[in-house]
Structure 1
Amino acid sequence: MDTQLVSLIQRLANPAVMPMRSAELQQLASMKTEVVTCGAYRSRVLINDTPSPQAKSVLLLHGWGGHPMMLCALQSVLHACGYRVYTPFLLGHDPETPAGCELPAQPPLLLMMQARYGAFDSVVAHSAGGIITAMAHSQGFILNQVALLNAPASLANLLQRYLVLHRAAEHYLPLLGADFQRRYPMFADLQTCSPYAFSEARVLIMQGLRDQRISPANARQIQSQLPGSQLHMIEDTGHLGILSHQPALQTLARFLCANQADTAKGNTHAWAH
């Protein structure tokens, strides 16, 4: 195998995880966490619990090379809406148990959490978390509604960005895809220009127009894959800024928490459990 291709595969499986700031480490130490095990991987799940037995659960997913504390503002907003909030470290991203883990190996984390905590009503996925959610959904992960924040429109879009970051030639794109498909046969259906198939879920797509990592054009491509989805383009924020952008958080809360309010009134939608 081409030595540069091998190097690209290895680097993709070992992302440079953004370090947590001291305030984030202190906040993490005060939060309820549980360790989950997926095969050879161990990772922590942060839990913002609620005493209400009727509370619905929401899963928050960070992007590749990120960590759960980047989603603190989202955790607070959705917990205040009455959700029980689960925020895991993606496999291989937990600094307590670091290990290389490829993108196609992430869906078992979501499926294991579904088996352990029950089906999640909602998912909020940032960046590569959107593709991971699409992969897990194709393998049986259930959701009622999903919000995609600055997500890539396809695996190819994500890998193209990765090649640019590593100054690698574009001819490696099909080679990376072929290698993934050889080692992860179930991955074939996701290697299309339309991997999102949340046909029975409510979908919100949010995109910061100042995003320098995921082109805003991706948001419109995702919307074309999901007829009936809502699209919000946010003018004054970028890739990470959207996670703490107050107008964006308010839009997200209105979208997700409308379901909570309707359920409380006894109005059950066709897409609801």
Structure 2
Amino acid sequence: MSSYLHKVAGQAINLTGVVSMRLAGRIAFRLFSTTVSPEPKTDKERKLLAMSRNAMREAEPFMLPVHAGMVAAHRFAPIGEPNGKNLLVVHGWGSRIDYMQGLIRGLRQTGAVVIGLDLPGHGGSTGRFLTVPLAIEAIDAAWRQFGPFDAVVGHSFGGFVSAMSAAGPEDWMKRRTPSRLVLIGAPVAAEHVFSQFSGHMGFSRRVSRAMDEEVQRIAGQPISFFSAGRMLAAKPDLPVLVLHAEDDKEVSANAARLYDEAGPHVELQWLNGLGHRRIVNSQQTIDAITRFLV
């Protein structure tokens, strides 16, 4: 959807709020949570998908059941001498494991088994809808099938939900804590993401509040609850590596700084010049993660 169409849709939802603010909040949240088609949309994505085909053929495919359908998981064997490590990789919003083959191959070359997880509504998984609880359920399914994991590596939204899965309260979710956690270009709080989305759509303040209230209705928690930084601050025994570029135009560098403030168990490394997407398969990223996992 173009920026113009986003604004038109945003104004239509604002008008809906005049009649029913609760309905406007539901529509806004539904729009926020609806995923795009997993088919590549640009020539660059089509080229990247074609380049990944041979690498994806090296994986053993699995379909794991979740409440909303099935999620696709891909088990990649080590390249070279196995080191006994078992790693989970989780992609970002609008992406898929196919697009992370540079990173996955780099991790496999250390001798690790790598599990690549397609989140609901992405890649080979079913559905066209994704929320934080659905993503955490998908991660839990991967743990039940392949875990425990020595480390979870998540990019963007995948890093955000991986952090909450690793450090969230056990009375709300079944915590799945790896030995180490790596976050690449990851947002730190749902409030920030919602605010960015509301601004992009041109929502009124009342519609933005109604969307927050819809989160409370669906998840049983206020939007402020979904703060990965605060959750990690309460888990000082979990070593965390945060990789971010200050030139990231999709996730503010302030998110990385807030993660860094969670405590001395969080290590922040700036990989400037790599933006939000090139950072994923960068050799600098692979080297930093490899050092962290030793």
After TM superposition, the score normalised by the length of structure 2 is 0.78
Map of 1:210-229 to 2, 5 A cutoff? 210-229=247-266
Displacement of 1:24: 3.0
Answer whether contact 2:89 2:114 (CA < 8 A) is retained: yes
Shift of 1:104: 2.5
Moved more, 6-15 or 52-61: 52-61
Instruction: Give CA deviations for 1:203-253 in whole Å, capped at 9, x if unaligned.
Output: 111111211111111101111123331111122110111112222221122
CA drift of 1:182 comes to: 1.9
Distance 1:71 1:128, change over 3 A: same
The residue aligned with 1:48 is 76
Kindly tell me: are residues 53 and 23 of structure 1, through their superposed partners in 2, closer, same or farther at Cα, counting changes over 3 Å? Answer: closer
RMSD: 2.5
Tell me which residue corresponds to 1:177: 212
> Could you say which residue in structure 2 is the equivalent of 1:242?
279
- What pairs up with 1:1-273 in 2 under 5 angstroms? 1-2=20-21, 3-17=23-37, 19=40, 21=46, 22-25=50-53, 27-50=55-78, 55-95=84-124, 97-137=126-166, 138=168, 139=173, 140-169=175-204, 171-185=206-220, 190-192=225-227, 194-196=230-232, 197-256=234-293, 258=294
Greater C-alpha Rg: 2
How far did 1:28 drift? 2.9
Amino-acid identity (%): 20
- Cα deviation for residue 31 of structure 1 reads 2.9
Q: Which moved more, 1:184-193 or 1:70-79?
A: 184-193
Shift in alpha-carbon separation, 1:86–1:151, aligned structure 2, 3 A: same
> Aligned partners of 1:43 and 1:195: how far apart in 2?
26
Q: Partners in 1 of 2:216 and 2:156 — Cα distance?
A: 21
Give distance in 2, aligned partners of 1:187 and 1:95: 31
Q: Which amino acid aligns with 1:161?
A: Q
| More contact order relative to length (CA 8 Å, sep ≥ 6) | 2
What is the TM-score with the length of structure 1 in the denominator? Answer: 0.84
Query: Hey, what's the Cα distance between the residues in 1 that align with 2:201 and 2:291?
Result: 38
Unaligned runs of 5+ in 1: 259-273
Residue identity opposite 2:32 in structure 1: L
